[in-house]
Structure 1
Amino acid sequence: MSRVARITVLLWLLCASALAHAQMDAERVRISGSQTMAARLVPAVAESWLRDIGYQQIRRVAARASVTEIHAVRDGQPLIVEIAGTSSARGFQDLVDGNAHIAMMTRRPTAAELDAGWQLGDLASHDQEFVLALDGVAVVVHRDNPIAKLDYAQLRRLFSGQVRDWRDVGGRGAVHLHTVAGTNSARDVMDERVMQGASYAPATEHADGEALVRAIAADPSGIGFVTLRQPWGANVRPIAVSDGGRAVSPTRLAVQSEDYPLSRRFTLYGSQMMGALSRSFALYAMGQRGQDAVTQAGHAAVTLRPGYRPTTLVGPNDYRELLGTATRVPLSLRFNFSGNNDSGVASSVYDSRAVRDLDRLDAFMRLPMNRGKRLLVIGFADLGAGSQVAATMMSNDRADLVAHELMARGLPVLHARGMGAQVPLMRAGGPNARYRNERVEIWVL
């Protein structure tokens, strides 16, 4: 080897060594959890965050299997955002063990997880729980299928093979099942919400949601499920789904308000001792720029968008008459029933998304297009309150609570009214029934 070649190799080795040491010494933000969130969503938000806080030389590195690193430099100081796509359970355990600053989860922590992570603080607090995006599942059929709605029990019977003829659920002809092959996020939701341990019957398997939708478009007897991120085209339509309450279709309004039963949250969790950088990232993700990155990554953001009047209003006459020509704001304010902090009392009466939705609603109503408009605040309760009378009282209390909050912010509230348990989203008595049914709608008139 010539002298020049030896010097070149030596310089290369020195540079490589310096780079390796710089990476070892770089500050890191460690994020661990859901594979679905780690694939595109969180890296997109992280890159946007780094750009907006002044970092340069931003690049993605496939560090090892299931781990993406985003490298960046600011003022000569390197930073690495390490994103490990494993599972919601693994992400939470990494947070408990101190191996991650932020956990990515597609569900809320279980009671057992909360007990194991008691030292993390109040994970239902808006200071530690950050709802990043919305996702879910659409159950799709051919547009000529007469079935308009199905409940969880009917879906379970269909996909487990107990129902083989559409006539058993109000349709016609033999049932043809279609699924996406292998583990995927849509199947995760169906497993948890619908199948509940039941096995799937043999079905025609497809490589991805796009292929499944094409097959349904050519099969008038077909039924399948895909993520809400999958377009379904002209010859395919989603059906309304019920979990013991009213059947809800996966419209934009129903998904953003989380009234649709097969919607779910993509959430970031941090401990009460989150570092400055990890908290900066989580808070950035809640803001408009972070939510723009969510949308660009192909997911449903939680920032407030203009609403509309549903084509069909489900509810008692006084509900429909009160609303008149009002349009629905695409949110449902829900409440915090966890009380997982040291005092056993929830840090806020509202859940973490509702805390931020109140701020978003405040900003939304101050836009020029909403000048002079007024708000209708409609509360609902769960029949688990004990009786219809108790449910009505509870719904009135919830509506009044929100109305007073909005008026304290200087927003004009025309009416606040409770509707009791008349329009449930879920059957009473279920483990999440109170959380789902006890909610407040906001309408603009």
Structure 2
Amino acid sequence: MYLLLHRLCRTLILSFGLTLTSAASTESPAFGPNTTGLLFTLHGSNTIGAQLAPNLIRDYLAAKGARNIRSTPLSTINELRIQADLGNQKVFIDIAAHGSSTGFKGLEQSQADIAMASRPIKASELVSLSRLGDMRSKRAEHVIAIDGIAIIVHPDNPVKHLTLQQIAAVFSGEITNWSQVGGHRGHIKVYARDNQSGTWDTFKSLVFGKGYSLIENAERFESNDQLSDRVAADLTGIGFVGLASIRHARAIAVSDQDTQPQAPQHLTIATEDYPLSRRLFLYTPAYSLKPTAEEFLHFVQSEAGQEQVKTTGFISQTPISIKPTSTREGPENYLALTQKAERLSVNFRFAKGSATLDNKAQQDIQRLMEYMQKPQNRDRQLLLIGFGDEKASAERSVVLSKLRAVTVRSALHHHRINTAPVQGFGAYLPVVSNKSKAKIKNRRVEVWLL
């Protein structure tokens, strides 16, 4: 597939060559007056822009046959230019990683071709970008990786697990001493991302809600890596970072009310069962996208692009199978059904307030089709198991969870993928509290390989 993509990219660059030269000379300059050779620009999330975007761009340029690929920091911190020789042209791509909100502002002001975001687009941003089309549509919203917000402490801190409620109390200043949560006596020092950060927005939404606010003396950072290194050097410190930035700190397990503690691991994050899992996005105009930007998006979603996602330290969306552990939980029928099966690292979820598959799920249908076409999987069968949140009756919850599995089965059958009879288990095994506003995460379909 990688070789086919390489050949495709070489063909595309020949057809886009004239477009590159003419478009570059007429674009509004984002980083200076001379934009000749500019392929596209990315603004936004530092979580994506610090390492993942540069690595993906280098691989993308290499797949196009570019030579002499090099990176140059620009005059402003967290801004980078990646340059290369492509045929007879000198080309470059610029990245400005100042936080997710700046990516949407870049699109609005026509300074960015792609917005990097570690959170979904907000309603206000949806309105301000309406001239670019439906920014929640499949053409505009592109999930490129799964990340987990890791709650990190010093490696020698004895605390291994905190609830979301304890985390909120610590970061808001209600809990101020480690002895209050099972640690050694000592004042807690709080470190947090800055207000431009999508990591901060996600943390605030998943942990604080509307009931808490950050303690005033928290030390704030634009960079995940800098925050992580500060926590790793402070025995009393606690902070939150993207999964790829744990570095020398230690991540602790997290639980919600009535749920089991989950460590930020591959399966729990890939399936978005970890309470602080999140999606990483690229957003583009729904229409009139630069050909090179669209070509880059296709590369990111390919197996080669997703392999770089994994190499950089995030969770790839390419399905893998994992044998269940001996200490599993759930209804007796569920355990019997899955006893000899392997869990796939994908959960299907649905658009908010809808019975239709969300944008990631639609992309995952294609990935699952490719996975099942591999020689080792052609004689195997998929088992779809639906779950949901609590309803007026347990019976209704079971019915709705089974209907969700039927929706996924129908989409797979459209691609000639047969499945075992679907199952639904209602509100069993919640991944977040059914009393929280985030309970929509419990509406999911697990995929098992028989």
Same fold, TM exceeding 0.5?
yes
Q: What is the CA distance between 1:376 and its match in structure 2?
A: 1.3
Tell me if 1:248 matches 2:262.
yes
Q: Is the contact between residue 381 and residue 394 of structure 1 (CA under 8 Å) also seen in structure 2?
A: yes
Question: In the alignment, is residue 438 of structure 1 matched against residue 406 of structure 2?
Answer: no
1:381 aligns with 2:388: yes
Give the corresponding residue for 2:66.
55
Contact 1:70/1:80 (<8 A) preserved: yes
Contact 2:266 2:315 in 1 (8 A): no
Q: 2:276 maps to which residue?
A: 262
Summarize the Cα distance change of 1:41–1:263 in structure 2 as closer, same or farther, 3 Å threshold: same
Instruction: Name the counterpart of 1:104.
Output: 116
Structure 1 residue 231, shift from structure 2 partner: 5.6
Q: Which residue is 1:17 aligned to? A: none
Superposed displacement of residue 327, structure 1: 1.7
Equivalent position to 1:281, from 296, 316, 335: 296
The answer to whether the 8 A contact 1:138-1:238 is kept is yes
User: Alpha carbon RMSD of aligned pairs, Å?
Assistant: 3.5
Gaps of 5+ in 1: 1-19, 339-345
Q: CA deviation at 1:443?
A: 0.8
Does 2:141 align with 1:129?
A: yes
Q: Which amino acid counterpart does residue 243 of structure 2 have in structure 1?
A: L
| Structure 2 match to 1:31 | 42
CA contact (8 A) 2:118 2:281 kept: yes
* Structure 2 gap ranges (5+): 1-30
Taking the TM superposition and a 5 Å limit, the aligned residue runs for 1:160-171 are 160-163=172-175, 171=182
| CA 213–292 in structure 1, closer or farther in 2 if over 3 Å, else same | same
The 3 A distance-change label for structure 1 pair 146 and 335 is same
Distance 1:21 1:373, change over 3 A: closer
Deviations 1:255-286 (A, max 9, x none): 11111111222210111121211111111111
Residue 128 to residue 311, structure 1, CA distance change in 2 (3 Å): farther
> Quick check: 1:124–1:336 contact (8 Å CA) kept in 2?
no
**1:404 equivalent in structure 2:** 410
Q: How do 1:277-426 and structure 2 match up within 5 A?
A: 277-337=292-352, 349-383=356-390, 385-426=391-432
Q: Distance in 2 between matches of 1:424 and 1:120?
A: 37
Amino acid at match of 1:72: A
Counterpart residue type for residue 326 of structure 1: A
Q: TM-score, normalised by structure 1?
A: 0.80
SS in 2 for 1:440: strand
How far did 1:416 drift? 0.7
Contact 1:107 1:267 in 2 (8 A): yes
Q: Deviations over 1:330-355 (max 9, x none)?
A: 111111237xxxxxxx8x92112111
Deviates more, 1:147-156 or 1:33-42: 147-156
Q: Which residue number corresponds to residue 286 of structure 2?
A: 272
Distance in 2, Cα, partners of 1:301 & 1:21: 35
* 1:255 match: secondary structure: helix
Map of 1:36-115 to 2, 5 A cutoff?
A: 36-65=47-76, 66-115=78-127
What per-residue deviation string (whole Å, max 9, x for no partner) do you get for residues 360-398 of structure 1? 222222333334322210011222x54433222211111
Cα 1:130–1:149, aligned 2, differ >3 Å: closer, same or farther? same
Aligned partners of 2:54, 2:81: CA distance in 1, in Å? 9
How far the C-alpha of 1:144 sits from its partner, in A, is: 9.9
2 CA distance for matches of 1:32 and 1:98?
A: 11
After the TM superposition, which residues 196-211 of structure 1 pair with which residues of structure 2 at under 5 Å, given as runs? 196=209, 197-200=212-215, 208-210=227-229
CA contact (8 A) 2:394 2:426 kept: yes
1:196-247 Cα distance to aligned partner (Å, 9 max, x none) = 542338789996535634766xx8xx866554235678x9662232266554
Structure 1 pair 286/367, CA: closer, same or farther in 2 (3 Å)?
same
- In 2, Cα distance between equivalents of 1:441 and 1:396: 11
Checking the alignment, whether the CA contact within 8 Å between 1:176 and 1:223 is kept in structure 2 is: no
Q: Residues 116 and 389 of structure 1: is their aligned pair in 2 closer, same or farther, counting only changes over 3 Å?
A: farther
Is residue 125–residue 351 contact of structure 1 (8 Å, CA) maintained in 2? no
Greater shift in the superposed pair: 157-166 or 308-317: 157-166
Distance 1:237 1:145, change over 3 A: same
SS of the aligned residue for 1:64 comes to: coil
Aligned-partner Cα distance in 1 for 2:301–2:257: 29
SS in 1 for 2:364: helix
Against the structure 1 CA distance between its residues 27 and 146, is the aligned structure 2 distance closer, same or farther, given a 3 Å change threshold?
A: closer
Aligned to 2:206: 193
CA pair 168-396 structure 1, distance change in 2 beyond 3 A: same
SS at match of 2:116: strand
Call closer, same or farther: CA 1:226–1:31 in 2, change over 3 Å.
closer
Larger Cα Rg: Structure 1 or Structure 2? 1
Q: CA deviation at 1:316?
A: 2.0
Q: What is the identity, as a one-letter code, of the residue corresponding to 2:266?
A: R
Q: Is the 8 A contact 1:31 1:82 kept in 2?
A: yes
Question: How many Å separate the matches in 2 of 1:179 and 1:136?
Answer: 19
Specify the alignment match of 1:212 in structure 2: 231
Separation (CA, whole Å) in 2 of partners of 1:372 and 1:365: 9
Q: 1:29 to 1:365 in 2, by over 3 A?
A: same
Change (3 A) 1:387 1:150: farther
In 2: Cα distance, 1:407 partner to 1:254 partner: 27
